[in-house]
A and B are shown apart, each in its own frame.
Chain A
Amino acid sequence: MAAGAFAESGADLQLEGIRKTFPGFTAIEELDLLIPAGSFFALLGPSGCGKTTTLRLVAGLEDPTAGRILIGGQDVTAIKPHKRPVNTVFQSYALFPHMSVIQNVEFGLKQRKVPDAVTKAHEALRLVELDHVANRRPSQLSGGQQQRVALARAIVNRPALLLLDEPLGALDLKLRRQMQLELKSIQAEVGLTFLHVTHDQEEAMTMADTVAVMNHGRIEQLGSPQELYELPRTGFVASFLGQSNLFPAEVESTSGGLITARTAGGVVAMPAERAVVTSGAITVGVRPEKLRLLSEEPARDGLENVLGPGRIVDVSFAGASTQYILEIPGLGEATVFEQNMVFGSVFTAGSEVWVAWRREHTFGLDAAARVEAAEAARGDEPEDIADSVRVDGEAA
């Protein structure tokens, strides 16, 4: 893919054995990744997990300590950033303050001497519905408008690969939702490969076809949003992507594709393929919305797992659903989301309850999962402070 041409379609991005160390710390331990052409791929992780560094490596703004980067099959590891068929929508937007909006958008086209740069730039501005501010300075626009200009400035070049570095981070919730939809429709329309870096799990799930959850410079798990949510493979993923109830347990038996494990609150079973360990200590997990609350102990029918009795310690009403926190002796706290099918909450604090859920909704993680999950719950910070500070330093 020559930098001089418009990409006809997106290109594959392949990272082979990438490792990146900075003086004093390792940003990326070991990374192998294949992003197929035309996909919307999200790298999701907390601050300092290495996701922004990964993006900068692909853009060519950093050099990997080891490994190769291939775009559309071509090794670009040693190629300078301005010769890569890649454009970035920066977290800070990085619009040129001394140029008008239209000059910003046509910058890349003019660099490559693309004919009709002005016409194409206006087209890109129309796509983000900002053609009417073409002659203003970026400083005269709102944050959301600047963000869309940054997007137009990148997509106007039709790069084989578009990199998005938390581009929606500075927007308010309503505008963010709107931009998420716009981005997704633009991606579908122009068919480019999008690599989106974010710490916002909801954003990653709603926008991307494939999500890779990163932590400590490694990819923890990769898959479609639904796969990641329904079958997390590590405690970090179980807790960073949505919420999970995780109970410590000991495997009792494995037979007929079913693993049976004993917890302090009762015996649970799960399909063997949904567990990462099949013997010894195991962590039993289930999503809060999969749990049913019962006021009486149910009959064991062999289809559901039942734990209890426990006591409800907290009820919080959230409109469409109610979140119950209950305390199960020996197991600790569990969270349950119940749809508000009747008016208001059904149970009150202090009620004695049992929880039941279908066996196939259970997942089994390794024994360390609860520690990782606690870390994931802490690490969900809104701003990539560590990343941005370091990025400033490296830029010089």
Chain B
Amino acid sequence: MAISALVPAGTQAPHEPERRRGGLIALALLVPGLAYLALFFLVPFVSLLITSFGINDTATYGGYYYAFYWQNYVDVIAAYWPQFLRSFWYALLATVFALLISYPIAYFIGVTIRERKLLRNLLLVLVIAPFFISFLLRTLAWKQILSDEGPVVGVLQFVGLMGPQDHITGTPFAVVFGLTYNFIPFMTLPLFASLDRLDTRLIEAGNDLYASNASTFWKVTFPLSLPGVISGTLLTFIPAAGDYVNASQSFLGGPGTAMIGNVIQSKFLITVNYPQAAALSILLMAVIVVIVGFYVRRAGTDDLL
């Protein structure tokens, strides 16, 4: 505004009302979104935060009274740190496997068959197709396929790769497998979006400048697809770390595979210890924010393009 004082009044005046109106419209358009966030994120978050400091009242079902009892956090960390570590370990494994599986798919759709629009769209539909079936149903289907009576175990036992007492369901393998499977579309789509925009003339330039195909991939293609890699890994890692379906004993998990999501679920719905459940939720959120913040800074997204 200090600058506008130096400008002759006549030149500035015609633009002012228009700009102010533009600002008002922008604000009006933001209102629904802001209201939504306030109502469905900020209020529940504050409520959760308050609950996490409450004291559990064992006398009543699900009762607690308000306090500033930070001991909840100490208690849950002491009791559930293995589940925390396991959650992030499984989520990390699932993210890495999903990346390894999705990158070639996304490259094939976005670069190799770029000119064949029909085939490309067909394959994209196939990537998204699992979404047409409920995620719970798909996970249950895998439970059937991998169950002790299922075809996979049968074949593996027949060829002697599995003993008669071995299982697939209930193992860490099954949980990580389920997480990987369920999040592959979330990894593939952002990777595809990045690779689809890749200028293939840059690959030729890499080849022309003495870089083999592998070298060109690591020096040119992969760095240019980093925005997709980062969004894909975040879209996989964050929900996978908090997932409670795959690791649940009703689905692919077993007694030894409980993730933090399963603990939170049972605290809220089975043992109804709301303060501890809330403290676990806040901790999970905080750890994810720290990990993601560190990751995004290291990956240097600001530096890309």
Task: Write the residues of chain A forming the contact surface with B, with a CB cutoff of 8 angstroms.
Answer: 3, 59-61, 80-83, 86-88, 90, 92, 94-98, 107-108, 111-112, 139, 153, 157, 391-393, 395-396
- Tell which of B201, B204, B205 has the most Cβ of chain A within 10 Å: B205
Q: Which residue of B lies closest to A112 (CB)?
A: B210
Residues of A within 8 A of B223 (CB): 98
Provide 19 A-B residue pairs closer than 8 Å at the C-beta atoms, listed in order of the A residue.
Answer: A61-B208, A81-B207, A82-B212, A82-B215, A82-B216, A90-B205, A96-B202, A98-B223, A98-B304, A157-B210, A391-B201, A392-B201, A393-B114, A393-B115, A395-B201, A395-B204, A396-B111, A396-B113, A396-B115
Residues of A within 8 A of B210 (CB): 3, 82-83, 108, 111-112, 157
Interchain nearest-CB distance for A300 vs B (Å): 60
Residues of B within 8 A of A157 (CB): 209-210
Residues of B within 8 A of A393 (CB): 114-115
Residues of A within 8 A of B112 (CB): 396
Residues of A within 8 A of B207 (CB): 60-61, 80-82
Report the Cα distance A384→B203, complex, angstroms.
21
Contact with A along B195-228 (1 / 0, CB 8 A): 0000111111111111111011001100110000
Q: Is B161 an interface residue (CB 8 A)?
A: no
Closest 6 pairs (CB-CB, A-B): A94-B205, A395-B200, A108-B209, A111-B210, A81-B207, A393-B115
Report the Cα distance A69→B220, complex, angstroms.
28
Q: Which residue of B lies closest to A139 (CB)?
A: B305
Residues of A within 8 A of B208 (CB): 59, 61, 81-82, 86-88, 90
Name B's interface SS: helix
Interchain nearest-CB distance for B17 vs A (Å): 36
Report the Cα distance A98→B223, complex, angstroms.
7
Interchain nearest-CB distance for B215 vs A (Å): 7
Report the Cα distance A245→B242, complex, angstroms.
81
Whether B211 and A98, one on each chain, are in contact in the complex, defined by CB atoms closer than 8 angstroms, is no
Report the Cα distance A364→B223, complex, angstroms.
59
Residues of A within 8 A of B200 (CB): 392, 395-396
The contact of B211 among A59, A107, A153, by CB within 8 Å, is: A107
Whether A82 and B211, one on each chain, are in contact in the complex, defined by CB atoms closer than 8 angstroms, is yes
Report the Cα distance A206→B209, complex, angstroms.
28
Residues of B within 8 A of A90 (CB): 201, 204-205, 208
Whether A94 and B201, one on each chain, are in contact in the complex, defined by CB atoms closer than 8 angstroms, is yes
Interchain nearest-CB distance for B244 vs A (Å): 39
Contact with A along B111-133 (1 / 0, CB 8 A): 11111000000000000000000
Interchain nearest-CB distance for B249 vs A (Å): 46
Residues of B within 8 A of A60 (CB): 207
Q: Which residue of B lies closest to A388 (CB)?
A: B201
Report the Cα distance A19→B223, complex, angstroms.
37
Identify 8 new A-B residue pairs, CB closer than 8 A, beyond the known A82-B215, A395-B200, A395-B204: A82-B211, A82-B213, A87-B208, A90-B204, A98-B224, A107-B211, A108-B209, A392-B201
Report the Cα distance A98→B202, complex, angstroms.
11
Report the Cα distance A3→B209, complex, angstroms.
10
Whether B204 and A97, one on each chain, are in contact in the complex, defined by CB atoms closer than 8 angstroms, is no
Report the Cα distance A111→B208, complex, angstroms.
11
- Tell which of B201, B209, B219, B220 has the most Cβ of chain A within 10 Å: B209
Residues of B within 8 A of A395 (CB): 200-201, 203-204
Q: Which residue of A lies closest to B224 (CB)?
A: A98
Whether B202 and A94, one on each chain, are in contact in the complex, defined by CB atoms closer than 8 angstroms, is yes
Residues of A within 8 A of B202 (CB): 94, 96-97
- Tell which of B112, B205, B210, B213 has the most Cβ of chain A within 10 Å: B210
Residues of A within 8 A of B115 (CB): 392-393, 396
Report the Cα distance A78→B203, complex, angstroms.
19
Q: Which residue of A lies closest to B305 (CB)?
A: A97
Report the Cα distance A83→B210, complex, angstroms.
6
Residues of A within 8 A of B305 (CB): 97-98, 139
Q: Which residue of A lies closest to B303 (CB)?
A: A98
Residues of A within 8 A of B201 (CB): 90, 92, 94, 391-392, 395
Interchain nearest-CB distance for B45 vs A (Å): 37
Interchain nearest-CB distance for A81 vs B (Å): 4
Whether A107 and B209, one on each chain, are in contact in the complex, defined by CB atoms closer than 8 angstroms, is yes
Interchain nearest-CB distance for B227 vs A (Å): 10
Q: Which residue of A lies closest to B209 (CB)?
A: A108
Q: Which of B132-175 contact A (CB under 8 A)?
A: none
Residues of A within 8 A of B220 (CB): 96
Report the Cα distance A96→B304, complex, angstroms.
12
Report the Cα distance A108→B208, complex, angstroms.
8
Report the Cα distance A108→B199, complex, angstroms.
19
Interchain nearest-CB distance for B102 vs A (Å): 19
- Tell which of A86, A96, A108 has the most Cβ of chain B within 10 Å: A96
Interchain nearest-CB distance for A38 vs B (Å): 21
Report the Cα distance A142→B219, complex, angstroms.
24
Whether A111 and B215, one on each chain, are in contact in the complex, defined by CB atoms closer than 8 angstroms, is yes
Report the Cα distance A80→B206, complex, angstroms.
12
Residues of A within 8 A of B111 (CB): 396
Report the Cα distance A97→B205, complex, angstroms.
12
The contact of A153 among B209, B212, B213, by CB within 8 Å, is: B209
Interchain nearest-CB distance for B299 vs A (Å): 12
Residues of B within 8 A of A396 (CB): 111-115, 200
Report the Cα distance A157→B209, complex, angstroms.
8
Report the Cα distance A90→B305, complex, angstroms.
20
Report the Cα distance A94→B204, complex, angstroms.
8
Interchain nearest-CB distance for A139 vs B (Å): 7
Interchain nearest-CB distance for B192 vs A (Å): 14
Q: Which residue of B lies closest to A153 (CB)?
A: B209
Known A98-B305, A392-B201: A80·B212 in contact at CB below 8 Å:
yes
Interchain nearest-CB distance for A164 vs B (Å): 12
Report the Cα distance A95→B204, complex, angstroms.
11
Report the Cα distance A61→B213, complex, angstroms.
12
Whether B304 and A111, one on each chain, are in contact in the complex, defined by CB atoms closer than 8 angstroms, is no
Interchain nearest-CB distance for A148 vs B (Å): 16
Residues of B within 8 A of A3 (CB): 210
Interchain nearest-CB distance for B196 vs A (Å): 11
Report the Cα distance A153→B305, complex, angstroms.
20
Residues of B within 8 A of A108 (CB): 209-210
Interchain nearest-CB distance for B105 vs A (Å): 15
Report the Cα distance A80→B209, complex, angstroms.
12
Interchain nearest-CB distance for B224 vs A (Å): 6
Q: Which residue of A lies closest to B114 (CB)?
A: A396
